[in-house]
Each structure stands twice: as structure tokens, then as C-alpha cells.
Chains A and B, each alone.
Chain A
Amino acid sequence: MNKLYQKIEYCLKYRNDIVFKFNIDQKTIVMVNSNLLPISLQNKPVSFDLVQKFCSDRILTLNRGYCKEILTACGIEDQSDINICIMCRALSFRDNYWISRTNKKETWEEFNLYNNNFSLNISHIALTGNMQHADMVDDKVFTGELTGKGTKAKCYYRTDNKVVMIKNETRAEILSEVITYYIAQALGIACSRYEIRNMFGKECSVCEILTCDDRELVPCRDILSYYNTNQMNYQGEYYAFFMKVDPINFIRMQILDYVVLNTDRNRDNFGLLVYRGKMLGMYPLFDHDSCFKGKSPNGNYFPTGITFSKTLELLKTKYYRYYSTIDTVRFREIIGSSTFKETFLKCKSAEEYDSMMRRVNNL
């Protein structure tokens, strides 16, 4: 197998600025601008491990739907994390980092996924697993599918000048995505809007990608990495950091998750909004397919490491100063209104509404 790429010198770039250069064959790294390091790589010794970590955190997981088909369609034989990243230049719809050959004059403007066309054939394969058009995939892998997170079959697609994410989900999951957006509105926390659509013959949720040149997402995973841990719990440094950056919206997210019993607020499913290089606060919430799944408030809530109910108690006591500023009375009125109930019942059952109202009344 041709492993020529291992002898080439590459660099990690933030837009057009080189962060570091690296050589895979020699396992060397030369730091150029440590101020531009991704947050997940900061707070660590400078070694080739940074390259490995960046690539491992970046790429899709093997349990993602149609992972094998995507890799095959992209012609990726050497499926090491680093090679996958190099093949797709590590371009993503998350942030402005990418990998380029050091000796090539490649610019961010020429390659970023926001302003350039990406492969719709790979998108089609990523959503459906249908390899019918695999031979039409260009030699140059130009896609965001290799750097997306999650396990469900999904894809990026450009429509009406916008990039959207299309995710194949069950009807119940899609409707959870749809209705949670309205509950978030009532709570006053920004959230992605989802629609139900029939795409490529499959029932899917569709939501707009909100990142762009100016706006990046730093997932909680990266904040945990900064603190050199994988564990999310309310006593951890990561939790204190979110509470420091945007306490009100971090608390609103936890209230929302308690109300809808979101069992999948994992480290890739929330994060911070970076606007023109600076962290502003919570990124608008997304990925609500695992809400209303009939779970108990006594189940574990990922971000705190304790139950949903205990999380609510924690917010009401330790963080009362912030919690008390959230207008839960008004929220209860809106969710309890006949207009909202009517909308809710178009997506979910009366039993689910009653169960949710019991939790709303506990706020």
C-alpha cells in the first residue's frame, strides 16, 4: 500500500495561519503558533501525540451508520485516524481548523466547506448507504461526512444556499426534535429548528447548520480535553467553566433536559459558541432525538453525572442565585396553555404531555 503521505510534511491550520507542522513518518511536530491551538490540545506537552489526538477526536466513529460505506466511497484504504483526516483535510462544519500540505499554497478560501461545493454523492451514501453512485465520487475527497459525530446515518446537504444536516431517524425521534425547539423557545434558550422531511426516500429530520466562517462550535468534548478528563460531573472543572462562561443558559439547558428527559446530552451534544475567535456562551442547543423516550427522572443525566431530579435540586440550591433569575412561572404558563398543548399533541401523546407537565410543575 502506498504510504507516501507519511513522508510528506503537513500542517494544522486555523484558516490560513499555521498552528503547527508535523511529519507522520518521523513522528515530529514543530509548533508555529501555540496561541492558535485548538482548545482540546491546549494545556498539554507539545509532542506528536497532539496530532494523534486532534485526528482521533476529529473523525467519525466506526459505529456511525454506513461508516464502512463512506470510507469505501472515499477510497480510504489506510483507515488510521491520521490518514482519514489527511484525506479529507480534516475539514468540518464545526470550526475553522484544517490540514494542508506545508509545501502547497492552499488557502482556506479555496477549501472551506462553507463557501465551496462538497460532494453530494458522498452525502447521499452517508445518508442511505446506497453505493450506486460511489464510482462518481471524485478522487479528491471533499466532504464533511468524515468529521461528523454521532451514530445515526446522516449527511450534509446544500439547499437554498444553506447547508443543512439531514438525519435518518424514527418518526418519534424526529417529532422529539421538532417539539423540543418550541419548549426551548418558551424557556428562552436558543435552539436549532428541526423539520420532518422525506429525503432520498427516507423519513428524516432536517436542520440548518449554524456554523460559518465567523461562528464555530467548541463541543464540551474539547473543554473536557482541555482539563485532561473524559468525565462529565457537576463537581468537575468543566462544569465550573460552563457555569462561569454562561451560567444562565447552562442552567436553562439542564432545566430543558429535565423537562423533556433528554437522555443523550453527551459531550458532543452541547458546547460553546465561538464568534470571531472569542467564546461568547452556550452554543444553540441541538440534537433532541433522545427526548420523550419514557425514561424516569431518576435516570442518569450525563452533564452532571447524577439523576435528572438531583440535577434540578442542585440547580435550585447550589446555583439558586442564577436559577432564581429564570422565569419558571411564565414558562409553566406557556407550556400549560391550550395553544402550546395543541401544538404538542400534533407531535406527542397526551400521556407524554401530562408526564412533562408534572416535571414542569416541579421547577
Chain B
Amino acid sequence: MVIGSLTVPVSEEERNDIIENMLGKRFDGNIDYGDFDECGLINASKREAAKEEILSYMIQKIKEEYHLADDGEALLKWDEYKTKHNLLPGENYGNE
């Protein structure tokens, strides 16, 4: 079979209709900012900030418990601290 025989000439309009049905929007050179998922971006940066805050908090706790002055030393004690306080990695199944 010749590959060209599988192609069908369609007008830009017909093709755009099929694409619109597929993607729920027309790609006509205009940007639809309405579907920009700012919420997802904000959540992502909040998660990042939360990670930083939790890390700082845990370093502080370890420093207090082992009477340490240095953050690096506190991180070296992390595994020991985790075992001592039975801190197991959390599971987060499903959507956020």
C-alpha cells in the first residue's frame, strides 16, 4: 500500500474542528490565559517552602536534643534521631 493513500485532504477548518473536539479549544493564534493553572504553581512553591521550613524545624530540634551548635552536625544525627523517635517516611497516596 502506498502511504499517501492513507492521507485525506482536509480543510484547515475541518481539522480545527476535530482538534477542538480533542483538546476542548481552538488553536487560532490567541492565548487563553483562563486555563493557566496558577493554583498548581502556587501549591508547588508552597510545598517547596514547607519543605524548607520543616527541614529548619527538624535541624533545630536535633540541635536541642544533642546539644549541637552546627546544622551540618545535626544533619549527621538525622538517622539516629529518626530511629529514636520512630519517624518513618510518610506515604502519600492519591491526589494532593
Contacts and interface: CB of A to CB of B under 8 A. Distances in A.
A and B are interacting partners: yes
A269 to B, nearest CB: 17
Interface stretch (B19-27, B59-67, B68-76, B78-86): B19-27
Q: Is the interface of A mostly helix, strand, loop or mixed?
A: mixed
B6 A39 contact: yes
Contact of A197 (B90, B91, B96): B96
A201 B29 contact: no
B30 to A, nearest CB: 7
Q: Looking at chain B, what size class is its interface with the partner chain?
A: 35 or more
Interface string A174-202: 11001000101111111111011111110
Nearest to B29: A188
A274 B6 CA distance: 9
22 contacts: A43-B3, A171-B44, A175-B41, A178-B37, A182-B33, A188-B27, A188-B28, A190-B23, A193-B23, A197-B40, A197-B96, A200-B94, A201-B92, A210-B22, A244-B7, A278-B8, A280-B10, A281-B15, A284-B22, A327-B29, A331-B29, A343-B36
Interface of B: 1, 3-4, 6-8, 10, 12, 15, 18-19, 22-23, 27-33, 35-38, 40-41, 43-44, 47-48, 90-96
Contacts, number: 113
A264 interface: no
A34 B2 CA distance: 12
Nearest to A189: B27
A223 B7 CA distance: 12
Interface in A315-363: 327, 330-331, 334, 339-340, 343, 346-347
Given A196-B41, A198-B44, A200-B93, A42 B31 contact: no
Interface in A49-86: none
Nearest to B10: A280
A173 interface: no
A5 interface: no
Given A159-B95, A185-B27, A284-B23, 15 more contacts: A34-B1, A185-B32, A186-B29, A187-B29, A196-B37, A198-B43, A198-B95, A199-B96, A201-B92, A241-B4, A281-B10, A327-B29, A334-B29, A339-B33, A343-B33
